[in-house]
Structure formats: structure tokens, C-alpha cells
Amino acid sequence: MVRNRKIPARKHHGVRDPLKQLEEKEKKLRKVTNNPPERDNQQVSFKFAQFKKLVEDTKAGKKIKRIHKGKEDMPKDKLTHPKKIGHIQQLKEETDEDYLKRVNRITSQSLREAQYEAKYGVNVIRNAKTGEISITKKPKNEIDELLKEKRKNRDKSNVSRNKGKENPGKPLDPEVAKKLIKQAIKEDKEEKSHQNHDLEEYKHDIVRFGEIVHAPPIITALPRRAEKFETVPREKKLICYLKHYCLIPNVIKVN
């Protein structure tokens, strides 16, 4: 059984007597606790000062201006949101199916109008009583205008930077480009076939019908990295070679 390693206890540094420890602690906090403050007055909080000022202004009869927090997040008036759809209530003699169809029609109609507004940058205003539709142009957004101007200046700088470079020619007609590509591929194939024409003769032997072969070809050059016993002619190798290349019937017998 393996003995576990004994973890040494934490060493105690300093005074071990609890009474002496308490005495030292009280000595450190002597100037902190139960002492009067250096100044008699104490500054009040900002909220309390604001409340006090409001009370004094109301007593004096001043006009108080209310400050609404998060005014930009509050819902705006009806003029800025003319298409705000409220709660669609069911009519008295309307069935549930007709009510759902009407709700679906109103929502899909509002979605189409919103897509049209986003695409063409206009406001679609519908008269609730008559149903007449009018279109007004949206006011320009300052942020979008600044971004557009910045993009325009950047494009101008790129044009001035590339002014000295050669301008590319006009784009070719797709049909003409297709014909040129086909012609280039054809010329490349012809050139490759012409280069490999001389090498094709050494790839295989052309044996015509009825032609008699009396002996195998004599190869003077040895293959690269070939050992001597591999280059020595053997009877079996000779028969296989004649069968494969010379199309001679199996007449020779191996003893």
C-alpha cells in the first residue's frame, strides 16, 4: 500500500495570543471609529439638491420644464406613423373564418407596402376612410448622404490613382470570345499532337493482317536502373512477347 504524501500545515506568522491580536487591532482603528468628522457640514446628494430646487421653484411660481428621459425611444405621434395598425376587432356578424381572412389580408397588405417603401424610398399613405393610396418621397437621411459622399470621394481617389495605368480594352462580344477560345484550344491540340507524332511510333508496333514476323526486335539500349539478369532473354519472356506483339499462334513449346 502506497502511503499518501503528508501535506504540511500552514505556518503561523505573527502574534498567536488572541488578546494581543485584539489589542493591536483596536490600536489600528483608534483614529477611525467613534471620532467626530473633521467638518461639521456634509454635502447632500445630487437628487436631493434637485428635489429641493424643484420645491423652491414651485413656491416662487416659476414655470417648470419637464424632462422626459429617453425621449427618442418613446413612441412618436400619429403623424409620423400614419400606417400604424391598431387592434383589429371582430365585427358583430362576422364569423371567425372571415375575421381571420381579414386580418391576414391587412397584414399581407401592410408587408407589401413596407417592401415597396424600402425598395423605392417612398412613403405609401393610405386613407383609412376612402382607401385611397398616395405616395410621397421619403426625406433624405443625413447618415446615408454622408456615407454616399464618402464612397464617392473614395472612388474619385481610386480613379486618380489608376489614371496613369493602361485602360483595358472594350469587352468582347460573348459569341466572338467563345469562337476565339475554341480556336485556341484546337490549335493547342494540333500542336501537341504534332509534337507527340514522332513518339507514337515507339509506343506500339503496327502489325498488319497476314504479316509474318520471323524474329523479335533487337533492343540495344538497356532500361534505366535495370540489372543484368532482367535484361537476359528468357524463353518464356520471348513467347509472351511474341504472343502479345506479333500475334504468332502458340507453336513454340517450352521443355
What confidence tens digit (pLDDT) does each residue in 31-42 have? Answer: 777 777 777 888
What confidence tens digit (pLDDT) does each residue in 109-166 have? Answer: 888 888 888 888 888 888 878 878 888 888 887 888 888 888 888 887 777 666 655 5
Backbone angles phi, psi at 99, to 5 degrees: -65, -45
**Geometric angle at alpha carbon 130, from 126 and 132, rounded to 5°:** 40
State residue 155's pLDDT score.
82
Reduced 3-state DSSP string for 31-48: CCCCCCCCCCCCCCCHHH
CA distance 92 to 126: 25
Q: Quick check: 91 and 99 in contact, CB under 8 A?
A: yes
Question: Length of the chain, please?
Answer: 255
Q: Which three cell numbers stand for residue 224?
A: 534505366
pTM, full prediction: 0.29
Mean pLDDT on 167-190: 80
Q: Quick check: 82 and 125 in contact, CB under 8 A?
A: yes
The answer to whether residue 169 scores a pLDDT higher than 80 is: no
